Structure 1
């Protein structure tokens, strides 16, 4: 680990990124970069959120990202084991921000930049510290001369040296000052120096606490800002009100109260003056010092009403753009948001599902920042409407940390307004987020809160939605009777005129309940009805995958292998058109199960191993256990008992952390069979005893049959 430490504007990031590019070929397994925003005007980026981003970048499915910081750090280190990777942690404020992000692999390189020396990292973690001081005078002068070369006449070297001194020899200030000099070739350098000296005197008189270099940087900023054309100056300071880490042209137009064509020219002017950085096609960001300066100028020169209006325009633009993305994504059951604020700037438009989700990913950090800022500014209507609108996009790719934070902010805002419908909507969203993360207890609590509110409001569509979501939680917990009652409640609602869109999802969920219980005939009938309803309504193609996979499973379990293959091929054809890894993985698992059922055990082992690798890479231990358990059954069929035992043991271990009672009982039962066949009767009996105790709470047909099978074998091990 190398820590590049130095004052603000010294060029730490530029130096570190240059080094990273030079070294990247030595680290062929990948590079990770994050700006920790340790000195931004907003909150620094928490290690848990950074690990969420890193784990996704490493291929972990969103729903498989652990909840706790320590568990995320452990998974991160395990994924980097054996890899040579380069990790760049920019703008760190404290050692505490850094430690959870350190790989355990000694072949990785970590580059850190910070204004702090981070001495604890050197003392405890072996970091090498590289202090980055100010440029020597000769190099500072050379930087100015290079920047103005060919754009001015010959300047007095002594005056260039004086200009560099007034910039405190800091690269950021030197580039801004040089650009101003180059842009005014007719203006004598001594006149520019007098202006900057006057500005520096003002900052010296203010006696700021951050030291001489900070005063020099602020003086250069002010010196450059004061000569901007009025429209550019107004845009600069209003951009400082954007709460996110970066922004695109339309968002800049919204916050500055300009049309996109007009603001593009102003952004180009600010980039040319080195007051703004362009990071991509139509995307920009501030250096953190410049962001703070711009925000300070906005507070000084814009009235509170003008500042509030800027944030309102921005949040309204994000809200309408989110709704456009929802329409393009074909979101099921879009939220009812009531009266919407007008958007002064034309919102984004999307032609495809992928375009909508790409925009959401690009704007994710900004969306959370805007929701926080709206709540802090008392814009409570927007503070709940935006999280509610984002729900459908969050479901698509599960940014769970941001999702839960935004939903919580939305609930608080709706409570302040006394809007119980909005509260229910956000409780529902938060419940779905918890369920996606495997947090089933809090998920059930949020759905019950939503159901209570909607029942009190006599809101039949809302009651149906809450019942459906509560049913999904019961299904995940294998509480099948409760799940059945919830889905039947939803189906009753769907049968009423105007509510037909709910029929296909309710039928599909009922089918899954019956299949889990072992009632395959009604399950197949319900799944077929769900597919027919989807076809009648020309619903989004991805909705067909779940019923098709269920039909493939039912056909497999009833030995109709050709029909199972046909249903599986139909599901695969739909998934091939989507960017949806979870559905791709589900198809692969069913192919493995079908191969095993057909007796094609070598092929099944290949498919299980592919699936296991996928689930390991995304960090989903429950599904990884399914692969190990299936592989163990195929190995038993091939007579490779020692290997089968190892695979079943691996499955039981994964199903214990956290405990998944149904899955664990199944893997223990399979382990017992392999142990008994291997003449390890005592171990087999212990495994069956534990499996039997785990099965006691389950009373459905499938669980009863498995419990009876285990009981019989315990009484007669050779049966």
Structure 2
């Protein structure tokens, strides 16, 4: 939240040098033609580069056999692409058998030409939480990849689904989805005019009933596997190569790992690999653990018999045993980490040495891969089959060692999130003190992030890891770190609208606060959950959280906590008022909201918190406008604007002017309403508050229509269309008054 508000006002105060219209007191009213010219002159940001997204793993240069599967995939894709509407292809096989690589090869060879508007990719394993996928987060990433500005990405799943379908309605898109487990996960991501290719480990009958085409990918047979081995080792004896294929059960991942390991040891031969795998030389030393690994790998492979899994297990045991000591230590640390990706900064923080060399060795052995990311640090992950192996190895570590590593992970993320929060939301009200460890100490070299934009990208890139870290901290009983993380991550969850994450983490934060007997923290956590539920449209859930928080206010000393609860209650009352059919009932809701915002305002004045005073005054004025008390609202807004200018709180000024424009319009003073909306548009453009600029232009269009000001309406419509095109949306339909 900013101050006590979360209206998005921000706390980074920018000075804007632009022409302002004065609309309080003796208003200076710009004539209709001049106002139209002024709107035409508002500078919009340049549109993003018109480059189609090209996401997903890169194809390997060495790829053998799969001739039938490639042909089947090509024929299915081309047939579906030629038909009406979207198409779905389901590629099924055991883990690590090469499904993703098969799709990458098909795209490189032929399919990319059929989908000129881009390729989107997601691995659903990164978004799965307790068996369910956060589809809203996936669609948010897709929309951003399609150049929809973050300010235009809505919070709820239904709204994101609708926007994705609208933006992609005329695009020929290829959507690639890995690790699908359930048919609804696929249906939600199908592009309206393109093709979705999903990979998974089992057939989904309901998807086939919808018309999806099934491609089955089996392990390589002896001939194909031998060809692959001899591609890597041209001088390999055919019989020896066949033995390697047999010992690896034709599993491409196991073959690749074994041959990459050998390539790094020129003193050894393929016969050495066969001998070592046959002898099981690199076992774990614990038959029980080895048996558990074999069973788990079989389950991961999905064969039902464990044959492929046991072969992969043996190969991975051999490869890991043959790497250097610090690389093996690094591998074991990766098995302990609760998330899915890691950076060199994190690995250094948890005690790894020779991190760069170790990561390089893991990459060369194909045990780890680089992950695409929009932020600066390089991110690494283990293939999910390898990750299962690493995590089973980690179970053999002494409990105190494993727990010590997890504690270092949690501390790293708690401090990093706090620094990120400070950069993103600035000087807002927080319960936790600033972290003792400076930001520079968290990075192996340089810093994790340098400014607000960097910090937000880093937090977003770590979102899946944060979820896992909060769960681990809760399970281990590190309750202070749980709520610290939850409080800091409001900067991410609210800015990027990861509302499901906010609810999940907030509920854990509530439990942590109760364990620590911290009513102040519990109030804060319940308010965050309530705000996320409010933005998701679940007003009943939001109110129940606020009721529980209100019961604790007598135990909390800081008046700002009362303010945040009253503000949230006021926003819910306004939302309920908008849905009331009776004008009288709507006015009653508006009056209820006004009283709640007045209490929040009083709480901010008691501190005092200047930004909170501005935000709550603005909220009071919104409630007055909703209650049709136009003149009263103008007085509150004039005072709020003066405080904002005095304290350098420029980001609130466009919001204040928007409400002022509605108040003037309610009084019938259309010229002043136009001037106020114009001032809001001007300031919002200067501050790059594009969502507020959009609102101002929409309001100006409606006001111009009421005033029968055709030049102004035409100017606003043209500017609004240009803005939405720049923001990644299609031009809007003509607004009505």
Normalised by the size of structure 1, how large is the TM-score?
0.76
When structure 1 is superposed on structure 2, of 460-469 and 135-144 the one drifting more is: 135-144
Q: Is 1:121 paired with 2:210?
A: no
Give, in whole Å, the separation in 1 of the partners of 2:670 and 2:275. Answer: 87
Out of 592, 598, 603, the position equivalent to 2:707 is 598
Out of 172, 177, 188, the position equivalent to 2:253 is 172
Give, in whole Å, the separation in 2 of the partners of 1:289 and 1:554. Answer: 61
Out of 476, 484, 504, the position equivalent to 1:385 is 484
Q: CA deviation at 1:566?
A: 5.3
Q: Which residue of 2 aligns with 1:143?
A: 228
Assess, with a 3 A threshold, how the Cα gap between structure 1 residues 98 and 221 changes in structure 2: closer, same or farther.
same
After TM superposition, the structure 1 = structure 2 runs for residues 107-256 of structure 1, keeping only pairs within 5 Å, are 107-122=193-208, 124-148=209-233, 154-199=235-280, 206=291, 208=295, 210-254=305-349, 256=350
Q: Is the 8 A contact 2:332 2:393 kept in 1?
A: yes
Q: Which residue of 2 aligns with 1:351?
A: 450
Give, in whole Å, the separation in 2 of the partners of 1:537 and 1:38. Answer: 43
Q: Which residue of 2 aligns with 1:546?
A: 655
Q: CA deviation at 1:560?
A: 5.9
Q: Is the 8 A contact 2:618 2:637 kept in 1?
A: yes
Q: Which residue of 2 aligns with 1:672?
A: none
Give, in whole Å, the separation in 2 of the partners of 1:530 and 1:603. Answer: 29
Q: Which residue of 2 aligns with 1:652?
A: none
Out of 356, 369, 393, the position equivalent to 1:297 is 393
Give, in whole Å, the separation in 2 of the partners of 1:419 and 1:439. Answer: 26
Give, in whole Å, the separation in 2 of the partners of 1:127 and 1:296. Answer: 36
After TM superposition, the structure 1 = structure 2 runs for residues 316-715 of structure 1, keeping only pairs within 5 Å, are 316-331=411-426, 333-337=428-432, 346=442, 349-478=448-577, 479-496=589-606, 498-539=608-649, 541-557=650-666, 564=673, 567-576=676-685, 580-601=689-710, 604=713, 607=716, 631=736, 633=737
- Secondary structure at 1:335 match in 2: coil
Q: CA deviation at 1:278?
A: 0.9
- Secondary structure at 1:284 match in 2: strand
Q: Which residue of 1 aligns with 2:37?
A: none
Give, in whole Å, the separation in 2 of the partners of 1:373 and 1:581. Answer: 38
Q: Which residue of 2 aligns with 1:24?
A: 112
Q: CA deviation at 1:39?
A: 12
When structure 1 is superposed on structure 2, of 471-480 and 5-14 the one drifting more is: 471-480
Q: Is 1:284 paired with 2:383?
A: no
Assess, with a 3 A threshold, how the Cα gap between structure 1 residues 376 and 459 changes in structure 2: closer, same or farther.
same
* Structure with greater helix share of residues: 1
Give, in whole Å, the separation in 2 of the partners of 1:527 and 1:415. Answer: 40
Q: CA deviation at 1:498?
A: 4.1
Give, in whole Å, the separation in 2 of the partners of 1:460 and 1:52. Answer: 36
Q: Which residue of 2 aligns with 1:265?
A: 357
When structure 1 is superposed on structure 2, of 178-187 and 111-120 the one drifting more is: 111-120
Q: Which residue of 2 aligns with 1:678?
A: none
Q: CA deviation at 1:617?
A: 13
Q: CA deviation at 1:200?
A: 8.2
Of structures 1 and 2, the larger Rg is shown by 1
The two structures, once aligned, show a CA RMSD in angstroms of: 3.6
Assess, with a 3 A threshold, how the Cα gap between structure 1 residues 575 and 237 changes in structure 2: closer, same or farther.
farther
Instruction: Structure 2 unaligned segments of length 5 or more: list them.
Output: 1-87, 299-304, 578-588
Q: Is the 8 A contact 2:283 2:317 kept in 1?
A: no
Assess, with a 3 A threshold, how the Cα gap between structure 1 residues 80 and 232 changes in structure 2: closer, same or farther.
same
- Secondary structure at 1:534 match in 2: helix
Q: Is the 8 A contact 1:144 1:174 kept in 2?
A: yes
Q: CA deviation at 1:394?
A: 1.9
Give, in whole Å, the separation in 2 of the partners of 1:332 and 1:523. Answer: 28
Out of 98, 102, 108, the position equivalent to 1:15 is 102
Q: CA deviation at 1:513?
A: 2.1
Query: Per-residue displacement from partner, 1:454-488 (whole Å, max 9, x unpaired)?
Result: 22334422112222222222233332222222222
Instruction: Structure 1 unaligned segments of length 5 or more: list them.
Output: 634-719
- Secondary structure at 1:89 match in 2: strand
Give, in whole Å, the separation in 2 of the partners of 1:431 and 1:303. Answer: 41
When structure 1 is superposed on structure 2, of 595-604 and 340-349 the one drifting more is: 340-349
Assess, with a 3 A threshold, how the Cα gap between structure 1 residues 224 and 42 changes in structure 2: closer, same or farther.
farther
Give, in whole Å, the separation in 1 of the partners of 2:162 and 2:671. Answer: 43
Assess, with a 3 A threshold, how the Cα gap between structure 1 residues 353 and 201 changes in structure 2: closer, same or farther.
closer
Count of aligned pairs: 612
Give, in whole Å, the separation in 2 of the partners of 1:500 and 1:311. Answer: 40
Q: Is the 8 A contact 2:591 2:627 kept in 1?
A: no
Q: CA deviation at 1:237?
A: 1.5
Q: CA deviation at 1:83?
A: 4.4
Give, in whole Å, the separation in 1 of the partners of 2:93 and 2:663. Answer: 64
Assess, with a 3 A threshold, how the Cα gap between structure 1 residues 38 and 535 changes in structure 2: closer, same or farther.
closer
Q: Is the 8 A contact 1:313 1:343 kept in 2?
A: no
- Secondary structure at 2:338 match in 1: coil
Assess, with a 3 A threshold, how the Cα gap between structure 1 residues 175 and 619 changes in structure 2: closer, same or farther.
closer
Give, in whole Å, the separation in 2 of the partners of 1:5 and 1:497. Answer: 61
Q: CA deviation at 1:15?
A: 1.0
Assess, with a 3 A threshold, how the Cα gap between structure 1 residues 284 and 524 changes in structure 2: closer, same or farther.
same
Q: CA deviation at 1:113?
A: 1.0
Normalised by the size of structure 2, how large is the TM-score?
0.74
Q: Is the 8 A contact 1:148 1:181 kept in 2?
A: no
Q: CA deviation at 1:389?
A: 1.4
Choose between structure 1 and 2 for higher RCO, CA contacts under 8 A separated by at least 6 residues.
2
Q: Is the 8 A contact 1:595 1:604 kept in 2?
A: yes
Give, in whole Å, the separation in 2 of the partners of 1:108 and 1:288. Answer: 28
Q: CA deviation at 1:368?
A: 1.7
Assess, with a 3 A threshold, how the Cα gap between structure 1 residues 142 and 159 changes in structure 2: closer, same or farther.
same
Q: CA deviation at 1:233?
A: 0.9
